[in-house]
Amino acid sequence: MKTNKNQINLPVNSKGQTHTGENKLFFKILGPKNLLFLVFFLSTAVTYSQPVTKVLISGEYTAHDTDVKNAFLLGYSSYDATQYSGQIDLHPDYTPYNAIRYAHQNGYQIAVRSYVGLNTTVDDSAKKYSDVLLFMPAGSNSYIFTCNIDIPNSAVVSTGAGVDSLRTGYTVEFFSVDPITSSNLSSFSNGYIAGQIAFMANHFNVSVSQARMLARNNTAINSQPISVVVYGKIDEAKAISAGVLPVELTSFSAAVEGANVLLTWRTASEVKNYGFEVYRDGVKIGFVRGNGNSNSIKDYSFTDKPSGAKTFKYQLKQIDSDGQNKLYGFVEVTLEAPNKFVLRQNYPNPFNPTTTIRFEVPVTEKVTIKVYNMVGQEVATLLEGIKEAGSYVVKFDGSELTSGVYISSLKSSSFSKNIKMILMK
């Protein structure tokens, strides 16, 4: 069996966001319980797409925090001079954990820390309050506070500006100018970047997490080293033009594993993702439920068990909760014909009460698989018919049999083999 991998890497900033609207899903409200569920789902969706109405600026120095606030307002208006009309408050607090908790308790969508001190503890604290997006400098130029966080999955947006921020070597998510001093005070660029993302969230009426993903998809690496700046400088014009993808599929792969095909795919973010239909050669073969709303990377997989030796083409159809959908693919894999008959040991063994038996056929031929007890009595016929060259799997259910040793026998006109199986109840 040849292992043949094939993968599609989908560009994160793809403009393939058009949905066809076919195969709409229809839901019936059958009683109070289902009605309550629908109300809960709709309220969750509204919360997820809540625009930015409250912003908290938190740090140690009031004057410094005021500059960060002004940087936020400059970032918000940088695209088309739109002014931020929501609430923006200063909250001096030396401890990041207290600041993020305060923001959570008081309904802020964004918290901007003007005091440097991003570390693993801050990242862990932010994850406890995932309804608030925390913006912080990646590390201090004096090397006192630093953190090389897992940026794609972090609860914190780490920022940097100027030569000094990059010289430390600590990774940042977004890079920007300092709009207050035009130098390298990363806490001021911190506010500026938060303002840009807040504007995109309100412009498209999506969550700040979705706006963050949109910003990631549309950045530019100029002179900044890619080993330090993970995404780059936000390109607002490009981001506004591209728009928000409801579900961002970043990869789709297929690989042969024995007689099976393993499909794997990944999303960067999801909004109202009902799930994925899986197609082989244009025919639906399965469904994998989505995560609904998500602002972090999600991995999915599906195992197909096709028959025969040939090339198969796979597609995914992503379906929103309102029935809108989009096709992804193709990816291809080839299952090659075995060069001899093979009957493999059942798995699991011992078993209770079911087990699987794999076998391989090198040419098209009539094949029979039967199960016998230890005195030679036939207890089951698992397969009897013509099989093309390829790898196959059959299942044996011993739920109506007593514990003991059984014989599985594969026979064709040119081959015969037996294996022992142990049923242990």
Task: State pLDDT tens for residues 133-143.
Answer: 999 877 655 55
Q: Is the pLDDT of residue 38 over 70?
A: no
Give per-residue pLDDT as tens, 354-393: 898 988 888 888 999 999 999 999 999 999 999 888 778 8
Q: Is the pLDDT of residue 24 over 60?
A: no
* pLDDT score recorded for residue 20: 34
- Distances, alpha carbon 280 to alpha carbons 286, 303, 390, in Å: 9, 12, 17
What is the share, in percent, of the chain residues with pLDDT greater than 70? 79
- Compute the radius of gyration of the chain from its Cα atoms: 29
How many CB atoms within 10 Å of residue 118? 28
Best CA proximity match to 183, nearest among 65, 71, 61, 56: 71
Q: How far apart are the first and last CA of the chain?
A: 35
Q: Is the pLDDT of residue 81 over 90?
A: yes
* pLDDT score recorded for residue 2: 42
Q: What is the mean pLDDT of residues 26-30?
A: 30
In angstroms, the CA 26 to CA 29 distance is: 10
Best CA proximity match to 72, nearest among 108, 36, 44: 108
Judge whether 341 and 362 are in contact, CB under 8 Å: yes
Q: What is the mean pLDDT of residues 206-225?
A: 80
Structure-token pair, residue 74: 């400059």
CA 371 to chain centre: 44
* pLDDT score recorded for residue 184: 58
For residue 196, which phi and psi values (nearest 5 degrees)? -60, -45
Sequential DSSP letters for 342-386: EEPPPBSSSBSSEEEEEEEESSSEEEEEEEE-TTS-EEEEEEEEE
Specify the higher pLDDT residue, 82 or 33: 82
* Domains (range + CATH), the chain: 6-19+246-334 (2.60.40.10), 50-242 (3.40.50.200), 342-423 (2.60.40.1930)
Q: State the DSSP code for 98.
A: H
- The rounded mean pLDDT for the chain is 79
